[in-house]
Amino acid sequence: MRALRVVVVGAGGQLGAAVTCAFEGHEVLPFNRHELDIADARRVRSLARCRPDVIINCAAYNEVDAAEDHPDLAMGINSDAVRLLAGAAETAGAAFVHYSSDFVFDGQAERPYDERDAPHPLSMYGQSKAAGEQSAACVAHHYVLRLASVFGGRAGEGRGGSTTIDRMISRMRAGEEVRAFSDRTVTPSYTHDVASTTRRLVEMAAPVGLYHCVASGATTWSTLAGEIAIMLGSSSNVRATPAAEAPPTRAQRPNNCALSNSKLAALGIVMPTWQDALARHIHSTSAVSTGRRELSV
């Protein structure tokens, strides 16, 4: 296929950095948050002058608890700015890719959620992400990918190095105890797998719409933590803790965050298991911490 001109917004974050790398071979125009304020309507509209084939939005407001106190800020970035970006894509005749969250659901389902399930967010953050999905759909050629418990990236790349999974890895490498929820179910998303799936969807001109993009297989946080300990050969103690025993948070979290990848699978895109993704991430961070040359993943 011909090389595409791909605009990546939020390219300085952990997901944006992975997406920028994943589109190697195409003409990529990356913009970090200092280079493009997505709330600036004039600047966003000017993206159309780049004549992109695809605009990929990796920028987001991810402060779940703070969103309860700053709802306008969360909605402004996660929905209003998304509508501006979608408008720029529409003007340019470009495809638009946007990322959403498992927090659009209330976590009461007894099975993994699929794309047919109606959102019912518990928090302002979840509400803003659900609204963002509608904003992204304003352009006909759109892909909305729901992610969950995103990990990957490097320190200095957005939240890279500071995610829940990264904190677990750091504590285990230090031989410290790790407390993890025994009754919260997740299907985490590895940035490199999300990025490569994004490229496949765009290149194959997949049917537009909503997709869940997470690792295959669901797990609890405590089981995931135990797997990290095994992979690291760590002697750290993993203490499985019910969510009810944790200190209260400003925003309510869903207990069952598992998402189904069945829609991607129907296109022939099979996401790696969470164990496989976790092993690759640990190998990657180990290579950096010991000064070895990092392998491409």
Which are the catalytic amino acids? Answer: 125
CA 91 to chain centre: 26
Q: Is the dihedral of CA 94, 82, 80, 38 positive or negative?
A: negative
Nearest of 282, 155, 164 to residue 228 by alpha carbon: 282
54-57 and 219-220 as β-strands: parallel, antiparallel, unpaired?
unpaired
Nearest of 49, 133, 139 to residue 89 by alpha carbon: 139
Rounded CA gap, 72 and 124, in Å? Answer: 10
Beta bridge partners of 216: 273
Question: CB neighbours of 37 closer than 8 A, spacing ≥ 6?
Answer: 43
Rounded CA gap, 261 and 271, in Å? Answer: 7
